[in-house]
């Protein structure tokens, strides 16, 4: 029998958390998220079908009734399908953020979340890695959607496909951070339906995704104010401008600020000493 | 005079450096959920190479204690140290030295055994190659070598538990915490897991904290902490607790400690 006696001067050695170790941790979390995504083919299909239905059916039907005047970043009249494409990109990311939130709640219910939270890496880093994983998946979905949309005559400048990437990263982080925050607030998987009703739909509809704000303002000043307050509007505009190789600094600033606020609140929620996790009764 | 003082200080430093450090030191820990007290002034230690059974009925506070030790959330009062590292303020140092098997299953059922091991390894900064090599060795010891490419959801409950133990060992911790790991398993699976864990203490000097309500899993020489309604009722070797209670065995001693006669469920 081994009798191991450790002294303060000779503690069992462990692996140091070097930069390489941090990168391995990030890689592992992203890899698992992508693997889960690939296993859930239905998730990929629904992520694509949802915006395509809006594009092929809703936008085609409303093309005749909803004219869009020349507004930045467009320098000519555009088809309604062209107008709503950036909003649909944002919608994909919003759904993905909520899907990540659902995945976190699911992980908590089946217990795999505990594996993540008992890692020796700082908890904020683990959450950030989880966020990066979710954003990576959402960007793949957006590009798949844009590729299909291209054949539906949604043809932004070729360089726009590259220019939109930083915007997608930023907006993806914002929706992912919002999802993280919500995951700390949702106690059970069953409550996720409430998120659909109270977060996704209001955010999408009360924004500039479907109608330009000048049209919303014509209908209701209050609704216009709500749209301006809605971070989804600014994510949509950031993507819209970037897709046409222009920068919307105001939208970028607001999206960045919202990302920071959502992430800090999520990190606090997951903090073992201050967050909601500490108040949750365990078995 | 000055030289003597310096020598004294050096001796003191040497003595401190040579003082045995327990694998786990839980000291005066109290915790509550709102107004409900779950743990009250809990103190005990687990030494390296020792098997310590945390014995208590359901609702005794065992899972809460595990959550505090693994810093899923922070204790309200007291001190928890893993090899001398404070779990709250030096959580990274502490977590690097411990492996955990939680009461609820924490493997991803949609991934294979090896993919689960890769994921866990990455959470401890290990490379794929290290995970593959260490994982293969541990899986062989757990009689699961042929299951490495099997989907976790296709494994039996006992096999999943063994995979969880393998996973907990992957980063070479010197303290393993297991929260009711044999609940719901058949006799053979329980025997296999218990023997596997006891070997870890005996052969590798790993400190084991084994939370259970099954008294037949405890041997006379094991350290035992009896936890009941958040209070430590007894702490010592199983045989010393039996002797102190002047009981015929650990079950009567336990019954006598908790003042509860109907504890038949503990024996099976």
Residue showing tokens 């309200």: B76
Q: Is residue A11 part of a domain?
A: no
Q: Is residue A281 part of a domain?
A: no
Q: Which residues of A touch B203 (CB under 8 A)?
A: 2
The 3-state secondary structure of B96-159, one letter per residue: HCEEEECCCCCCCCCCEHHHHHHHHHHHCCCCHHHHHHHHHHHHHHCCCHHHCCCEHHHCCHHH
Q: Is residue A236 part of a domain?
A: yes
Chain A residues 87-116 within an 8 A CB cutoff of chain B = 110-112, 114-116
pLDDT the model gives residue A67: 61
A38 touches B: beta carbon within 8 Å: no
pLDDT the model gives residue A241: 93
Return the minimum-mean-pLDDT range out of A233-237, B71-75, B171-175. Answer: B71-75
Over residues B207-237, the pLDDT tens digits come to: 999 999 888 899 989 999 999 989 999 999 9
Mean pLDDT of all residues in chain B? 86
3-state secondary structure of B180: coil
Judge: B49–A279 Cβ closer than 8 Å, yes or no: no
Q: Is residue A6 part of a domain?
A: no
Judge: A2–B204 Cβ closer than 8 Å, yes or no: yes
The answer to whether residue B119 scores a pLDDT higher than 90 is: yes
pLDDT band at B9 (very low <50, low <70, confident <90, very high): low
Residue A281 falls in which region: left (phi positive, over 0), alpha (psi -120 to 50) or beta = beta
Judge: B20–A7 Cβ closer than 8 Å, yes or no: yes
Judge: B202–A2 Cβ closer than 8 Å, yes or no: yes
Give the count of domains, chain A: 1
Of B72, B73, B119, the CB nearest to A28: B119
Q: Is residue A283 part of a domain?
A: no
- Let me know the angle formed at the C-alpha of B179 by B174 and B183, rounded to the nearest 5 degrees: 130
Q: Dig out the tokens for A45 from the structure.
A: 């299909």
Of A8, A28, A282, the CB nearest to B118: A28
Interface confidence, given as ipTM, is 0.82
The answer to whether residue B114 scores a pLDDT higher than 90 is: yes
pLDDT the model gives residue A282: 43
Judge: B123–A25 Cβ closer than 8 Å, yes or no: yes
Alpha-carbon dihedral angle through residues A252, A257, A260, A262, given to the nearest 10 degrees: -110
Judge: A28–B127 Cβ closer than 8 Å, yes or no: no
Q: Dig out the tokens for A280 from the structure.
A: 């949750």
Q: Is residue A275 part of a domain?
A: no
Average pLDDT estimate for B55-83: 88
Q: Which helix (H) or strand (E) holds B166?
A: helix B157-169
pLDDT the model gives residue B268: 47
pLDDT the model gives residue A283: 37
Asked if residue B215 lies in contact with residue B267, where contact means CB atoms within 8 angstroms, the answer is yes
Judge: B124–A119 Cβ closer than 8 Å, yes or no: yes
Q: Which residues of A touch B91 (CB under 8 A)?
A: 120
Question: Which among B124, B126, B171, B203 is the top mutation candidate for probing chain A, defined by the most A β-carbons within 10 Å of its own β-carbon?
Answer: B124
Contacts of B80 (CB under 8 A, 6+ apart): B24, B25, B26, B27, B29, B68, B69, B86, B87, B88
Alpha-carbon dihedral angle through residues B143, B148, B150, B152, given to the nearest 10 degrees: 80
Domains of chain B: 22-97+174-268 (3.40.50.300), 107-172 (no CATH)
A76 touches B: beta carbon within 8 Å: no
The predicted model scores a pTM of 0.81
Question: Which among B125, B202, B211, B222 is the top mutation candidate for probing chain A, defined by the most A β-carbons within 10 Å of its own β-carbon?
Answer: B125
The answer to whether residue B51 scores a pLDDT higher than 80 is: yes
Q: Dig out the tokens for B226 from the structure.
A: 């009896």
A41 touches B: beta carbon within 8 Å: no
The answer to whether residue B264 scores a pLDDT higher than 50 is: no
Q: Is residue A72 part of a domain?
A: yes
Q: Is residue A13 part of a domain?
A: no
Residue of A nearest to B82 (CA): A11
Return the minimum-mean-pLDDT range out of A198-207, B6-15, B123-132, B141-150. Answer: B6-15
pLDDT the model gives residue A48: 83
Q: Which residues of A touch B64 (CB under 8 A)?
A: 282
pLDDT the model gives residue A281: 40
Alpha carbon of A270: minimum distance to chain B alpha carbons (Å):
9
Alpha carbon of B218: minimum distance to chain A alpha carbons (Å):
18
pLDDT tens over chain A, length 283 residues = 445 555 555 555 566 788 999 999 999 999 988 888 887 777 778 878 888 888 888 877 777 666 666 777 777 777 788 888 999 999 999 988 888 887 777 777 777 788 888 899 998 899 889 889 989 989 999 999 999 989 888 888 999 999 999 999 999 999 999 988 888 877 666 666 777 678 888 898 888 888 888 888 888 889 989 989 999 999 999 999 999 999 999 999 999 999 999 999 988 888 766 544 544 444 3
Judge: B21–A8 Cβ closer than 8 Å, yes or no: yes
Judge: A28–B122 Cβ closer than 8 Å, yes or no: yes
Domain with A140, as residue range(s), is 19-269
Judge: A17–B92 Cβ closer than 8 Å, yes or no: yes
């Amino acid at each position: 029998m081994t009798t191991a006696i450790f002294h303060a001067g000779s503690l069992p050695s462990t692996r140091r958390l070097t930069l390489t170790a941090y990168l391995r941790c990030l890689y592992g979390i992203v890899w698992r998220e992508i693997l889960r995504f690939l296993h859930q083919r239905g998730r990929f299909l629904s992520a694509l079908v949802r915006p395509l239905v809006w594009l092929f059916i809703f936008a085609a039907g409303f093309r005749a009734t909803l004219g869009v005047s020349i507004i930045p970043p467009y320098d000519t009249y555009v088809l309604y399908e062209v107008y709503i494409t950036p909003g649909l990109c944002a919608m994909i990311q919003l759904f993905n953020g909520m899907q990540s939130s659902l995945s976190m709640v699911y992980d908590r219910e089946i217990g795999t979340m505990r594996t993540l939270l008992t890692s020796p890496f700082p908890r904020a880093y683990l959450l950030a890695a989880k966020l990066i994983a979710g954003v990576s998946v959402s960007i793949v979905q957006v590009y798949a959607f844009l590729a299909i949309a291209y054949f539906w005559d949604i043809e932004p400048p070729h360089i726009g496909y590259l220019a939109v990437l930083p915007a997608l990263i930023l907006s993806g982080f914002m929706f992912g951070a919002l999802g993280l925050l919500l995951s700390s607030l949702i106690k059970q998987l069953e409550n996720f339906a409430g998120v659909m009703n109270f977060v996704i739909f209001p955010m999408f509809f009360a924004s500039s995704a479907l109608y330009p704000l000048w049209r919303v303002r014509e209908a209701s000043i209050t609704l216009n104010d709500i749209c301006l307050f809605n971070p989804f509007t600014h994510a949509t505009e950031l993507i819209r401008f970037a897709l046409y190789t222009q920068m919307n600094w105001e939208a970028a600033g607001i999206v960045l600020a919202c990302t920071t606020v959502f992430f800090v609140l999520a990190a606090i929620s997951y903090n073992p000493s201050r967050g909601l996790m500490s108040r949750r009764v365990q078995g | 005079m000055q030289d003597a003082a310096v020598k004294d200080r050096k001796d003191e430093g040497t003595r401190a450096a040579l003082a045995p450090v327990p694998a786990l030191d839980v000291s005066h820990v109290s915790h509550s959920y709102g107004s409900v007290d779950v743990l009250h002034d809990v103190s005990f230690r687990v030494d390296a190479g020792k098997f310590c059974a945390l014995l208590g009925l359901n609702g005794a506070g065992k899972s809460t204690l595990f959550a505090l030790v693994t810093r899923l959330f922070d204790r309200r009062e007291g001190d928890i140290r893993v090899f001398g590292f404070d779990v709250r303020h030096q959580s990274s140092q502490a977590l690097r030295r411990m492996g955990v098997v939680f009461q609820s299953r924490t493997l991803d059922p949609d991934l294979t055994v090896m993919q689960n091991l890769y994921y866990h390894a990455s959470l401890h900064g290990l490379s794929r190659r290290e995970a593959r090599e260490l994982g293969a060795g541990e899986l062989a010891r757990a009689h699961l070598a042929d299951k490495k490419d099997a989907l976790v959801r296709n494994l039996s409950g006992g096999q999943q538990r063994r995979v969880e133990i393998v996973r907990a060992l992957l980063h070479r911790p010197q303290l393993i915490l297991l929260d009711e790991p044999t609940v719901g398993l058949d006799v053979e699976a329980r025997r296999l897991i218990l023997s596997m864990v006891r070997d870890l203490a005996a052969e590798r000097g790993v400190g084991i904290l084994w939370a259970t309500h099954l008294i037949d899993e405890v041997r006379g020489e094991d350290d035992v902490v009896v936890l009941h309604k958040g209070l430590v009722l007894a702490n010592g070797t199983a045989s010393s607790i039996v002797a102190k209670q002047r009981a015929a065995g650990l079950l009567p001693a336990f019954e006598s400690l908790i003042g509860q006669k109907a504890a038949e469920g503990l024996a099976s």
